[in-house]
């Protein structure tokens, strides 16, 4: 009897692949994530602008309602100052009075609506007079309404400014 010799097959050893990383994302997923983050950021800033414009419009409407109900020139002046403080930095508005205040109001209007400094005597007299004629009150009120409707808003509102925390005032 002849013995047949069988040779074992010459097989190579198995090599296991390297273990996967914690987060094996293809480049397409990274691009998708970047597009999502950029879109979310853009939507956030657009919504913030829309809310800011709505807040400004509602403040204007409220100021107009209060101006129509004002019974004296000093009330009208107070409402103008409150409205100006809503839109402009306090440092720019708070220290103004007299002709400087009226010039500030005129400076915020287009030329065709300016009239505060032209009627500065009327404003000054009506502010401190015990009784004001109706035509004088109506003239001041109409000029204030024009200012609220047509004022040039600043590029940055006071609420957009950085906080002054940590600043020491001596």
pLDDT per residue over 34-84, tens digit each?
999 999 999 999 999 999 888 888 888 888 888 888 888 888 888 889 888
> Looking at the domain assignment, is residue 123 inside a domain?
yes
| Whole-structure pTM value | 0.62
Specify the pLDDT at position 170: 45
| Contacts of residue 85, Cβ cutoff 8 Å, sequence gap at least 6 | 93, 94, 158
104 in a structural domain: yes
For the segment 121-147, what is each residue's pLDDT rounded down to a tens digit? Answer: 888 888 878 788 888 888 888 888 888
Q: Is residue 84 part of a domain?
A: yes
Domain residues for the domain of 103 are 58-154
Counting the structural domains of the chain, the total is: 1
Q: Is 130 part of a structural domain of the chain?
A: yes
Domain assignment present for residue 67? The answer is yes
Task: Return d(Cα 133, Cα 36) in angstroms, integer.
Answer: 63
- Is residue 30 in a domain? no
Answer whether residue 36 is part of any domain.
no
């Amino acid at each position: 009897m002849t013995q047949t010799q069988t040779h074992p097959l010459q097989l190579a050893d198995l090599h296991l692949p390297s273990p996967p990383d914690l987060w094996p994302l293809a480049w397409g997923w990274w691009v998708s994530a970047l597009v999502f983050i950029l879109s979310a950021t853009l939507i956030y800033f657009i919504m913030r602008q829309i809310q800011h414009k709505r807040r400004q419009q509602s403040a204007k409407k409220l100021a107009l309602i209060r101006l129509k109900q004002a019974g004296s020139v000093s009330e009208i002046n107070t409402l103008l100052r409150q409205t100006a403080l809503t839109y402009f930095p306090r440092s720019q508005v708070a220290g103004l009075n007299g002709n400087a205040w009226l010039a500030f109001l005129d400076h915020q209007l287009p030329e065709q609506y300016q009239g505060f400094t032209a009627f500065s005597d009327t404003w000054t007299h009506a502010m401190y007079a015990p009784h004001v004629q109706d035509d004088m009150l109506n003239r001041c009120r109409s000029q204030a309404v024009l200012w609220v409707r047509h004022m040039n808003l600043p590029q940055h509102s006071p609420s957009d400014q950085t906080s002054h925390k940590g600043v020491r005032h001596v």
